[in-house]
Amino acid sequence: MYQYLLRRTLIAIGLVFTIMAVVFIMLRVALPGDPAVVLAGDRASPELIAQIRENLGLDRPILEQLALFMVRAVQGDLGRSVKFGEPVFGVILKAFPFTLLLTFLSVGIGTAMGLGVGVLTAVKHGTWIDKVSIVFVVFFYSIPTFWLGTMLILLFAVAWRMLPVQGAETWQHFVLPVTTLSIGEAAFIARLTRANMLEALSAPYVQTARSKGLVERRVVFVHALRNTLIPVITVVGLSMGSLLGGAVITESIFGLPGVGRLSIQAILDRDYPMIQGTVLLVAVAFVFVNLLVDVIYTYIDPRIRFN
């Protein structure tokens, strides 16, 4: 177990450094124009442009710039934001709690709803409850996030004036964005849970459990549901990693000062250090969550062993 975690940690560190190199090079190649000229402005003097290029290290060879960036990143120095004039790491730390809260609420509520609906439709397979639930699940799964968020704003904020839209001052500000994200999450998990539960309920070990006289509730939740959690946990881990990197569309629509909105502003402002910092956060979140999911597998299914 410990050898596996050590090996995965080393692989994760190597993956993060690879992503850092790719992002660094892509920002230098893909984005048009000289970053120093963009930051200084069209009417800036050559002396000012040269000074900015020197401050950003753009006058050095590309490999030297990359090595310097990696060394500083390991030390927690991601550079200084051009727009905010503050260290990138500090700006991200201010925005990350909002994204973290949005992620845990959305994934938690969506997972609970999805598991409940998925188990119910599997147990009531073929009944009107199953058929009606499938219609709603497919409907909400097919709705784009930006459209659902806009409709919720028009309904609850504009028409009924029940909830605020912009900002994150009170818990009411999180109701609409959490609802927007959790509905899609719940629909996907419900479909996945239903499909796996139907397969599990017809498996020989479930028939054996029923033949032993176990109550149906124990058969469903202890024997069948536990064996369907592996794919669900995988989906939850991927969703959480993605949202921790920033729910870009949702945070932009509802004006939440999270990492997603911060990354969009950085791209529009061509804030190169901030773009690198937010992308690095996405990479670290995905790697960490996937490592955590692999560890959880062993507690869900004892048959899984790390060799």
Boundaries of every domain in the chain: 2-74, 96-300
Mean pLDDT confidence for 76-90: 83
Whether residue 221 has pLDDT greater than 60: yes
Domain 96-300's class? mainly alpha
Q: How many helices (H) and strands (E) does the chain have?
A: 14, 0
At residue 302, the pLDDT reads 64
What's the number of CA atoms in the CB half-sphere (13 Å) around residue 155? Answer: 8
Q: What are phi and psi of 247, to 5 degrees?
A: -80, 85
State pLDDT tens for residues 179-199: 999 998 999 999 999 999 988
Q: Which of 138-152, 186-200, 236-250 has the lowest mean pLDDT?
A: 236-250
Mean pLDDT, rounded, for 121-146: 90
The whole-number pLDDT of residue 129 equals 92
Q: Across residues 289-296, what is the average pLDDT?
A: 80
Element (H, E) at 267: helix 259-269
Supply the mean pLDDT for the chain: 84
Q: How far is it, in rounded angstroms, from Cα 82 to Cα 154? A: 35
User: Which span out of 103-117, 155-169, 211-225, 273-287 was modeled with the highest average pLDDT?
Assistant: 103-117
pTM: 0.83
Residue 297, pLDDT score:
76
Residue 286 is which amino acid? F
Q: Which of 101, 106, 122 is nearest to 220 (CA)?
A: 122
Q: What are phi and psi of 31, to 5 degrees?
A: -75, 130
CB burial class (10 A; 0-12, 13-18, 19+) of residue 58? middle
Average pLDDT over residues 227-247: 81
> Which pLDDT belongs to residue 246?
62
State residue 107's pLDDT score.
92
Ranges 52-66, 106-120, 133-147, 261-275: which has the least confidence: 52-66
Highest-scoring range by mean pLDDT, 154-158, 226-230, 301-305: 154-158
DSSP annotation of 183: H
Cβ atoms of residues 119 and 226 within 8 Å: no
> Which pLDDT band holds residue 135 (cuts at 50, 70, 90)?
very high
pLDDT (tens digit per residue) in 9-49: 888 888 888 888 888 887 777 666 666 776 676 677 788 87
- Most confident among 64-68, 93-97, 225-229 (mean pLDDT): 93-97
Which pLDDT does position 303 carry in this prediction? 65
Mean pLDDT for 203-225 is: 84
Per-residue pLDDT reduced to its tens digit, 248-270: 888 888 988 888 888 888 888 77
Say how far apart CA 179 and CA 175 lie, in whole Å.
Answer: 6
Distance CA 69, CA 66 (A): 5
